[in-house]
């Protein structure tokens, strides 16, 4: 299995013409080949200035192979329409990478701009088979998800291993005793079947 640090990196090794990455809420991220940097603030000099609460986004259908949404989704006004826009602009089989504070993390509540406190299971709602998936037409499969912990070896190894092996038990019983730091997801866009 890849290390977590390697999973978060998107290399520019794939420079095939047409391979595109959208970095949502890019902040002061430097320009990279094949990457379109999008942010609401013109002060960070993104490639595209856009408010993610305004739909549709200024991109054609199936424009991107990868969308990076690192520490952004918890700030948005609405998650379902955002996921639908991400699905629209991702190519079929494209990857959506998301990081967000776990609901048990103090930072999830300290930051006054956070609107949502998310769970290991939040994005199941956008997958076939979930009992409430009818609330959105966006369809993804979860390829990978991981609860990250900070602190000493105990949290990073034992607690992390148990929490990721038994996430429902962890969130229902242990999250407030051993709070997680953040969540990492990789979702694959699938074509909606009518």
pLDDT, residue 4, reads 46
By the 8 A CB rule, do 99 and 70 touch? yes
First to last CA, the chain: 35
Distance CA 39, CA 151 (A): 31
16 has a pLDDT exceeding 60? no
Distance CA 67, CA 70 (A): 9
By the 8 A CB rule, do 166 and 70 touch? no
191 has a pLDDT exceeding 50? yes
**Domains of the chain by residue range:** 19-189
**Element housing 8 (H / E):** helix 4-8
CB-based burial of residue 32 (10 Å sphere; 0-12 exposed, 13-18 middle, 19+ buried)? middle
Q: How confident is the model at residue 87 (pLDDT cuts 50, 70, 90)?
A: very high
Domain spanning 19-189: which superfamily?
A: Vaccinia Virus protein VP39 (3.40.50.150)
Q: How confident is the model at residue 17 (pLDDT cuts 50, 70, 90)?
A: low
Mean pLDDT across 26-55: 96
Query: Quick check: pTM over 0.85?
Result: yes
By the 8 A CB rule, do 68 and 46 touch? no
| pLDDT tens digits, one per residue of 137-189 | 889 999 999 999 987 766 678 899 999 999 999 999 999 999 999 999 999 99
User: How is 55-86 classified by DSSP, letter by letter?
Assistant: SS-SS-TT-EEEEEEES-GGGSS-HHHHHHHH
> CB neighbours (10 Å) of residue 186?
17
56 has a pLDDT exceeding 60? yes
15 has a pLDDT exceeding 90? no
Angle at 187 between CA 181 and CA 190, to 5 degrees: 165
């Amino acid at each position: 299995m890849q290390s977590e640090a390697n999973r978060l990196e998107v290399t520019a090794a794939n420079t095939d013409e047409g391979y595109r990455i959208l970095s949502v809420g890019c902040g002061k991220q430097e320009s990279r080949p094949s990457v379109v940097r999008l942010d609401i603030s013109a002060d960070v000099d993104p490639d595209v200035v856009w408010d993610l609460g305004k739909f549709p986004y200024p991109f054609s259908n199936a424009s991107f192979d990868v969308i990076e949404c690192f520490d952004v989704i918890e700030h948005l006004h609405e998650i379902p329409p955002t996921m639908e826009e991400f699905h629209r602009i991702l190519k079929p089989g494209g990857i959506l990478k998301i990081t967000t504070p776990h609901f048990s993390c103090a930072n999830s509540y300290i930051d006054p701009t956070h609107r949502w406190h998310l769970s290991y299971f939040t994005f199941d709602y956008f997958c076939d088979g979930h009992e409430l998936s009818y609330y959105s037409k966006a369809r993804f499969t979860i390829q990978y998800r991981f609860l990250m912990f900070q602190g000493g070896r105990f949290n990073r190894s034992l607690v992390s291993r148990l929490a990721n092996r038994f996430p429902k038990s962890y969130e229902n019983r242990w999250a407030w005793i051993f709070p997680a730091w953040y969540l990492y997801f990789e979702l694959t866009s699938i074509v909606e079947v009518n």
